[in-house]
Amino acid sequence: MKSTFLHVNRNVFDLQKSLAFYDRALGLKECRRMEAPDGSFILVYLSDGVTPFELELTWLRDRSNPITSGTMRFTWLCR
């Protein structure tokens, strides 16, 4: 069975560094953004502009330390 990744979510500690990394490493650019009215989180969606794949970066305001492999959650949506 052939599948295609449509969406992957990553929680990030430093949103600006993460945006720069994914741009430099994979050429992914911000295509949309959602911000909580109270500023508690920001969701940034990145795309290559060619395929339907999106990488969602989730930044949480109350996060006080970097995310480690033991605290990461992944969401994979495939078609």
**pTM value?**
0.78
What is the secondary structure of the chain as a DSSP string? ----EEEEEEEES-HHHHHHHHHHHH--EEEEEEE-TTSSEEEEEEE-SSSS-EEEEEEETT--S---TTT---EEEE-
- Domain coordinates in residue numbering, the chain: 5-64
**Superfamily per CATH, domain 5-64:** 2,3-Dihydroxybiphenyl 1,2-Dioxygenase, domain 1 (3.10.180.10)
Would you give per-residue pLDDT tens digits along the chain (79 residues)? 777 778 888 889 899 999 999 999 999 999 999 999 999 999 999 999 999 999 999 999 887 776 665 545 555 444 4
